Structure 1
């Protein structure tokens, strides 16, 4: 079988072993684990003293099983859309290897959920190198572009929340203008990617970043479509779960889920998101008139659903077959 073909302008050659060693050391830094553990312990104690774990978990006994299965399937659809986005982004490198791509994407997402201080992001370039022979630096830069697409769509959901709260034609107009900004990416990336390989360091850096960007309008539209599907499915599922424990307006539920998803930008992040996830939801809901005690109960239960789904999909991903980069080079 012939070796995998890299996307145009990509960086397929594996990075030196030193890069892998540095990534491994970052995953083992004790400071992040100590802070993450402190946040987890603090959350456990706070819930017990303020609400009580039996009282907080009691509503799960009445949760309709079929509804729970449906919400898990909706969450699984989000994982599937995320993997299809990765496959499109790195086409044709991942052609014919979707099970491996799905495994990579699911394990990366699960690692992001479980590891403290966003250390899980290091799993993506490591797995890209391990499974597809992709350079860790190139994979890391590509992940930055993927995260920018995520932030762009989250901002679009923000416009939706504002529109649901105070209906006005200005919000849809703002959303259309926000979407039009995507057209700037190919317009800027194409000429920058054509810069000479030699020259000042700043120019080589710009070229490096541009080569990793989606430079064709059709490809960018496809990537954004999968981004919309993965986030749309996740927001619907998570809002439904939060609404079961916290009966408030739909736009407030969306705001709470938005806070949860933006918890990753906080300067601290607990093990499994413990503490930081709940704090971000409270920061979103309490100013909107939701009692802090109710918001905390809803946040913890939503967090438990998210952790359970992540662990389930992460374990299922381990059963998927792997087509490693070294395997593709064998006759």
Structure 2
């Protein structure tokens, strides 16, 4: 299975899509709203807590543990790249440094740009490095994000089990996993739809061609997804627990809230404001005082931003071996 590289003839041309994406990235509203969230967070922390007081605990953070947590975060980035390599095989075979560079830069852009504009970087890089179609890359990214959401739901079952151990939660998780078995079957059936005919059938066929159509490949993709999120949640829960001593399940719930900030209708520059708001929305109902939750959320956010910038800069040093697009099916 290889995600489709070519778009339907009725779809916008690559040049039109690139121009549309460029206009969207440059729209001032997103940057103004993102800047307002960033400024608002800076002022709120200064007035309510004080930046010097908020940052002071970092002076006592054990350096070796910090290096280990950065290593776990690096493992998460590595797992993301390996998932992309598997998803787009054989296009990316033999050029893993380029794949890793693409994956890390995409993730860094997603962290830094407001309103999830960083997602537009993925199809741009896929086209620039591998000659892959913009629309095909975008649709494939949607399927990858659905795998992410599916595994995040699995973590939610785990949090509920830690909170109130019961056989109900493992059973619910098993049924949730079993739903994955339907995806390759449905994708293969829809991929067999005729190329000609009504438009909705062509759209379904195109979407299905970008989905994992073999159970073995889907299992591999899900394994990398689990490793990616598992290492990230462990590292982030450890950081959050340093600033906010809580039960492990509450720490996981806080990290879950932070990660789900991406689904909010607003997203600040570097996630500023939206990241903290989502973390507070998860922690305050669990009995954590708002001021303490905000201080811990900001410090977790600073760790995430620092790791993203570090890995983004390191990724810029990776070599690029461009590939000519493979014409599949």
Output the TM-score relative to the length of structure 1. Answer: 0.95
Which among 296, 303, 306 is matched to residue 304 of structure 2? 306
SS of the aligned residue for 1:145 comes to helix
Alignment root-mean-square deviation, CA: 1.4
What is the aligned partner in structure 1 of residue 5 from structure 2?
11
8 Å contact kept, 1:12–1:133: no
Q: Relative to structure 1, is the Cα distance of residues 216 and 55 closer, same or farther in structure 2, using a 3 angstrom cutoff? A: same
Are 2:45 and 1:47 equivalent residues in the alignment?
Answer: yes
Match of 2:152, SS state, is helix
Q: Partners of 1:311 and 1:253 in 2: how far apart?
A: 24
Match of 1:232 in 2: 230
SS in 2 for 1:95: coil
**Partner residue of 1:106?**
104
CA distance in 1, matches of 2:230, 2:131: 31
Gaps of 5+ in 2: none
Aligned length: 322
1:109 to 1:267, Cα distance in 2 relative to 1, 3 A: same
Partner of 1:77: 75
User: Given the alignment, which residue of 51, 56, 59 partners 1:61?
Assistant: 59
Task: Give the corresponding residue for 1:290.
Answer: 288
For 2:28 and 2:155, locate their aligned partners in 1 and report how far apart those are by CA, in whole Å. Answer: 36
Question: Could you tell me which residue of structure 1 aligns to residue 253 of structure 2?
Answer: 255
Within 2, Cα distance between the matches of 1:91 and 1:326?
Answer: 14
Q: Name 2:22's counterpart in structure 1.
A: 24
Q: Does 1:38 align with 2:32?
A: no
- Counterpart secondary structure, 2:193: coil
Q: Is the 8 A contact 1:15 1:136 kept in 2?
A: no
Residue 264 of structure 2: aligned partner: 266
Structure 1 residues 56-97: Cα deviation after superposition (integer angstroms, max 9, x where no partner): 000000000000000000000000000000000000000111
Alignment equivalent of 1:127, drawn from 122, 125, 128:
125
Q: Counterpart in 1 of 2:186?
A: 188
Cα displacement (A) at 1:8: 4.0
Distance 1:273 1:155 in 2: 22
Distance in 1 (alpha carbons) for counterparts of 2:60 and 2:264: 34
Q: CA offset at residue 187 of structure 1?
A: 1.1
Q: Distance in 2 between matches of 1:215 and 1:235?
A: 29
Q: Which runs of 4+ in 1 moved over 4 A?
A: 12-15
Measure, in 2, the Cα distance between the counterparts of 1:304 and 1:11.
Answer: 37
User: Structure 1: where are the runs of 5+ without partners?
Assistant: 1-6
Q: 2 CA distance for matches of 1:9 and 1:140?
A: 10
Deviations 1:252-275 (A, max 9, x none): 000000000000000100000000
Structure 2 distance, partners of 1:22, 1:9, is 23
Closer, same or farther in 2 for the Cα pair 1:327/1:222, shift >3 Å? closer
Distance 1:198-1:303 versus aligned 2 partners, 3 A rule: same
Distance change >3 Å, CA 88–CA 188, structure 1 → 2: same
Contact 1:15 1:135 in 2 (8 A): no
Deviation of 1:12 after TM superposition, in Å, equals 4.5
C-alpha displacement of 1:16: 2.7
**Native 8 Å contact 2:34 2:268 kept in 1:** yes
For 2:226 and 2:213, the matched residues in 1 are separated by 19
Equivalence for 1:3: none
Question: Given the alignment, which residue of 262, 273, 280 partners 1:275?
Answer: 273
